[in-house]
Structure 1
């Protein structure tokens, strides 16, 4: 276990010093390049070389260095095959290379017109020609129906300037009038490259130079990148992988300005998106278990998250960083190891005290621990988890004793015994339950006293007596046939659900610690009262539905 913790701590240190700090300082560097858009910048000739060489040599060099073994450029699908979007990317790269005499012929049916204009001849099989003709018909229909720039459609047709056929006449004034303040055409790298080729606008050239300087290893589909968006995705990734406990300060820095800025309308695509949407709809927020959600998110991130681009999906590499995913797995597995160890201890404690063999009570030892461990985020080795789990087991069994086993006389006797905290006069199950409770409260009080030199014994006893007294009142109502008013029922019911018993006594052992006066029934904080009422109402709703 110690070696696993060492691996986790080393990965945390490494990621803080490399990945996370880089996301904070230069988030744009994690956006993957687009072969399609890089090819369009590579098509621009250098006027200082009589247009015989590319202006942006880094782009043509990127194309030469990033062709897949099979001869295409672009993305692979989950089976390792080129995606449909790799076709325009490949064709654009080949056109760029052919312009400078360094390419091989490839075909992409959507850009035949452009290919033919550059001298690339594409041979089609007869059965494909019909399909291509149909595509051209659909293309002409789109051009008739849509305007170049329409306020009701974004991105507009003009943002695909580089792909529009020569028959679609666009004058330079239209291009220049629609340039953004930064000189781009709708922040599209490819469309802006085509705009410069068509109009030669200095502002457009300045934008392209800035783009290449910022993205030295291939350009993205959109520039500038919404860096706040990338930071937000990173925060989301850390939280959903179950790593937020290790990156508190970094998340605070990443989040600092995110919510004060406008986030772009780019579309982030996650693998198995429909599966996630279905889960989000079916599993209510109150029923979520963080640890299980972390596992599902880790499994989903075996595939990379994608951001929807023009001719391809492009990736934000920091989100599926190998070390980040390794840390998430190590962290999850280490927590699992800790949880198994704690569950073994809880079962041992329950068996030693005979709680699993009471006969009348629900056996909920594993259930109680599962509910606590999977939904509460505490440090690895946390006594708090076991305190809450043991409390839940005790509450379940004592509540069942008051509901189903004890006579009214027995219940009154044990309630009085708890009030004076003395087991005299108790027998059978009543004595066993009191002795377990006495031992549990004694251990908690001793541990707290050893840590803080404060005696909380009386506070803990009063907390448990309050719960037991509420169970006695409800048992009396039930056994005598009394129907309380709604206000009386809720006043007692918010105590009998005993959520505050689990939470308040465990809060002593959190950092910063709780103070004894905070669990005095007459001085409960508003948030404690809301917790009690909410849990009672949720419990009743669930019971009614069942």
Structure 2
């Protein structure tokens, strides 16, 4: 029985445990019933607490397991950028095709890609994600309907990017306009109108300029920071006035600083680099800064022996290779070799800036070595092409294959720019042969025959060649033009053969004019010489065809635009003047006139050689200023990657003609060839 014997004792014990007595005989039955109900309620509460505790324990364990394997929702924005990465062995295919498939499978009905449906407050994030996904699909030419729907969503909501009440992803005003610019460059049709596009680009400029224009104390008070900010903003197309560097226009700004007291030359190097980025002829502030900073740097290396310390090497490099004569790949090599991933920095105490530095260095080394292996294969193929075309059999011609390839590989260095590199190199080889043919290799009859072949473009005319030399040259150029036209057609959806022929014909005619001047001992005016010399310098067949292989679509409107022709004239004129300064002595002995000798003649021989060369160098500097302004100017007809190609050629010309006629010299550029193509990294 429950109420007698052991059962009674047991219940009594539990009653004491719970703080109640089940069988208090001194109380009435009603009182005992009330006590029992209270006890049952307490038991239920305890059981509920125990159940809740179990659930909490389970939740804690579940959270622990989840924290071990963190799961994040798919980000359309990040997925899109990963989807744009090309495959290492085939740049025509995506490296992560599953990311591309995710984009194709996860577009919303309204045409957007978004993480969550949190309403209009995250509209800017939706726009960024959608544009990134559309760019990825455009890059790999897939999902045409997805692109159309995405563009409709973008255009219908584009006004939201100006709404300051909406939540903005970090850096939105900088990144989104940059993505719009990329969309335009890759040929994505966004029906926004020039005014809307201009307003979008203005967001980016205002964001980046705000700190500078507001004279942020952290920027303008420090020479290195100010100089670097000025140079980076200006070289990326921002309208930054050099007046904001006015506080550094005197050398005392360095001598009176802590860096000056410590003789720390890093700020001087930075301000010297900034002083070279002139966009206008009357920037006196930059002229003054350039004057005192260059003097200090020269004193630094003249009063002390050049050591192996990085700062000494930086000073030497900055003076020897100004930014307009420094090829990208040579600078990359130097940066990798001087990179110290274990470098200790001393602030309040010692520390290593970044634990990932060693991995960064390994990645850079791997990339450089991979590119070198590609370059060597391309150089070998080019050598085979020269022999196949029989160009090596032309005894009069300089063999400049490696120099021609160096100029392409050192600037168009990315693996995916292989077609542009090959076009650049083959054109350089052919123009060198043609230049030598008109200078020393061909008779007047042979020269006229070659021009006629391109002038008439008549099949009957092609069946008979005046000489074997003419045949070799013509067939090499003719075959090369056909090759380029075939490769360019799927990229631009049009035949560019007529354009290429016009480029070559223009060159041949200008060389014919110079040949007649020399043979007839005619003296052209300076205007006649420069107008013809800009073309005869032979950059047309090198730069202009390569533009078809750097990314943007080149339309008829672009190649007929004044801006296109003007940049070509500027860089070609600069090349002609550089060549004239370095080749004055040699060409004088050969009975040739150039811009230096014509200046002297036009002055009635009152101008000295030194004065004439000084005038020419001043013209070169002015051209550089004008060309750089055009290259960096936003919202122009010629796409930015194409404009940058003109600037790359300008830098190549300065490197080749820095000390002498490096192109004609058999040894001057050998070290650069080896550094870019053959030599292993010294790390």
- Aligned pair 1:420/2:447, yes or no? no
What is the alpha-carbon distance in structure 1 between the residues aligned to residue 88 and residue 435 of structure 2?
42
Which residue number in structure 1 is paired with residue 490 of structure 2?
A: 450
Q: 1:481 to 1:305 in 2, by over 3 A?
A: farther
Q: 1:369 aligns with which of 402, 405, 427?
A: 405
Q: Cα offset for 1:414?
A: 0.9
- Aligned pair 1:504/2:540, yes or no? no
**How do 1:199-218 residues align onto structure 2 when only pairs under 5 Å count?**
none
Q: Cα offset for 1:302?
A: 3.0
Which residue number in structure 2 is paired with residue 273 of structure 1?
A: 311
Which residue number in structure 1 is paired with residue 353 of structure 2?
A: 316
CA contact (8 A) 2:507 2:540 kept: no
Counterpart secondary structure, 2:360: helix
Which residue number in structure 1 is paired with residue 371 of structure 2?
A: 335
Q: Cα offset for 1:390?
A: 0.3
Q: 1:501 to 1:460 in 2, by over 3 A?
A: same
Structure 1 residues 210-236: Cα deviation after superposition (integer angstroms, max 9, x where no partner): xxxxxxxxxxxxxxxxxxxxxxxxxxx
What is the alpha-carbon distance in structure 2 between the residues aligned to residue 539 and residue 324 of structure 1?
40
What is the alpha-carbon distance in structure 2 between the residues aligned to residue 3 and residue 450 of structure 1?
22
CA contact (8 A) 2:391 2:472 kept: no
- Aligned pair 1:390/2:426, yes or no? yes
- Aligned pair 1:297/2:304, yes or no? no
Q: 1:381 to 1:488 in 2, by over 3 A?
A: closer
Q: 1:516 to 1:437 in 2, by over 3 A?
A: farther
Counterpart secondary structure, 1:361: coil
Q: Cα offset for 1:295?
A: 1.2
Q: Cα offset for 1:370?
A: 1.2
Q: Cα offset for 1:470?
A: 0.6
Q: Cα offset for 1:378?
A: 3.9
TM-score normalised by structure 2 residue count: 0.41
Q: Cα offset for 1:315?
A: 4.2
Q: 1:429 aligns with which of 469, 489, 504?
A: 469
Which residue number in structure 1 is paired with residue 390 of structure 2?
A: 354
Structure 1 residues 190-221: Cα deviation after superposition (integer angstroms, max 9, x where no partner): xxxxxxxxxxxxxxxxxxxxxxxxxxxxxxxx
With a CA cutoff of 8 Å and minimum separation of 6, indicate the structure with the bigger relative contact order: 1
- Aligned pair 1:469/2:509, yes or no? yes
What is the alpha-carbon distance in structure 2 between the residues aligned to residue 543 and residue 306 of structure 1?
48
- Aligned pair 1:282/2:320, yes or no? yes
Q: Cα offset for 1:413?
A: 1.5
Which residue number in structure 2 is paired with residue 460 of structure 1?
A: 500
**How do 1:53-202 residues align onto structure 2 when only pairs under 5 Å count?**
none
Q: Cα offset for 1:446?
A: 1.7
Counterpart secondary structure, 1:511: coil
What is the alpha-carbon distance in structure 1 between the residues aligned to residue 351 and residue 362 of structure 2?
22
What RMSD over aligned residues (CA atoms) do the two structures have, in Å?
3.4
What is the alpha-carbon distance in structure 2 between the residues aligned to residue 416 and residue 5 of structure 1?
42
Counterpart secondary structure, 2:551: coil
CA contact (8 A) 2:397 2:437 kept: yes
Q: Cα offset for 1:529?
A: 2.0
Counterpart secondary structure, 2:399: coil
Structure number having the greater helix percentage: 2
Q: Cα offset for 1:532?
A: 1.8
What is the alpha-carbon distance in structure 2 between the residues aligned to residue 306 and residue 520 of structure 1?
55
Q: 1:325 aligns with which of 361, 367, 377?
A: 361
Structure 1 residues 95-124: Cα deviation after superposition (integer angstroms, max 9, x where no partner): xxxxxxxxxxxxxxxxxxxxxxxxxxxxxx
Counterpart secondary structure, 2:549: coil
What is the alpha-carbon distance in structure 2 between the residues aligned to residue 409 and residue 468 of structure 1?
14
Q: 1:518 to 1:281 in 2, by over 3 A?
A: same
Counterpart secondary structure, 2:494: coil
CA contact (8 A) 2:371 2:413 kept: no
- Aligned pair 1:527/2:567, yes or no? yes
Q: Cα offset for 1:452?
A: 3.4
Q: Cα offset for 1:430?
A: 0.7
Structure 1 residues 269-319: Cα deviation after superposition (integer angstroms, max 9, x where no partner): 985211111121123434322112111111111355565536x6654327x
- Aligned pair 1:541/2:581, yes or no? yes
What is the alpha-carbon distance in structure 1 between the residues aligned to residue 391 and residue 351 of structure 2?
56
Q: Cα offset for 1:399?
A: 0.7
Q: Cα offset for 1:323?
A: 1.8
CA contact (8 A) 2:341 2:358 kept: no
Q: 1:281 to 1:523 in 2, by over 3 A?
A: closer
What is the alpha-carbon distance in structure 2 between the residues aligned to residue 445 and residue 330 of structure 1?
34
Q: 2:531 aligns with which of 491, 510, 528?
A: 491
TM-score normalised by structure 1 residue count: 0.50
Pairs aligned (count): 303
CA contact (8 A) 1:507 1:513 kept: no
Q: 1:387 to 1:460 in 2, by over 3 A?
A: same
CA contact (8 A) 1:368 1:389 kept: yes
Structure 1 residues 150-183: Cα deviation after superposition (integer angstroms, max 9, x where no partner): xxxxxxxxxxxxxxxxxxxxxxxxxxxxxxxxxx
What is the alpha-carbon distance in structure 2 between the residues aligned to residue 269 and residue 304 of structure 1?
22
Q: Cα offset for 1:453?
A: 3.1
Q: Cα offset for 1:539?
A: 2.1
CA contact (8 A) 1:338 1:380 kept: no
Counterpart secondary structure, 1:429: helix
Q: Cα offset for 1:436?
A: 0.6
What is the alpha-carbon distance in structure 1 between the residues aligned to residue 500 and residue 342 of structure 2?
50
Counterpart secondary structure, 2:404: helix
What is the alpha-carbon distance in structure 2 between the residues aligned to residue 481 and residue 543 of structure 1?
19
What is the alpha-carbon distance in structure 2 between the residues aligned to residue 482 and residue 493 of structure 1?
15
What is the alpha-carbon distance in structure 1 between the residues aligned to residue 405 and residue 420 of structure 2?
12
CA contact (8 A) 1:402 1:472 kept: yes
Structure 1 residues 310-366: Cα deviation after superposition (integer angstroms, max 9, x where no partner): 6x6654327x71221111111111111111111111111111112123110100011
CA contact (8 A) 1:463 1:521 kept: no
The gaps in structure 1 that reach 5 residues or longer are: 14-251
Q: Cα offset for 1:516?
A: 3.6
